Amino acid sequence: MNYKVAESGKRIRELRTARNMTRQQLAERIGLTINALSKIETGINGAKIDTLICIAELFHVSLDYLVCGRGNETESILEGLLKGLGKGEREYICKLMQSAIENITLLKE
């Protein structure tokens, strides 16, 4: 299986938008410019391995998922839990989860 940069970029964009993050916010978190992130999300450029690792850790997904689209059991579980909820309810739960993740990260430091 080959690294399809357009598909990988699409998955990154989906992860970002599912968490209500702007490109600016994600770019700052992973140390890229908005332009560089835009090129990754649109499939113009592939992401460096260090960037993929940062994104995988930030969104709690595997590198295999980002690169190949496989192995993201966590996303499947979450989708199952959120199934049937309205957009506002999903956004609210995503914000709660993001806040919890940020708090856990702070506690680890």
pLDDT digits (tens, 9 = 90+) for 4-57: 999 999 999 999 998 889 999 999 999 999 999 999 999 999 999 999 999 998
pLDDT at 50: 96
- Domains annotated on the chain, with CATH: 5-108 (1.10.260.40)
pTM: 0.67
84/7: higher pLDDT: 7
Angle between helices 49-59 and 23-30 in degrees, nearest 10? 110
Q: How confident is the model at residue 108 (pLDDT cuts 50, 70, 90)?
A: confident
**Residue 55 burial by CB count (10 A; 0-12/13-18/19+): exposed, middle or buried?**
buried
At 1 the pLDDT is 62
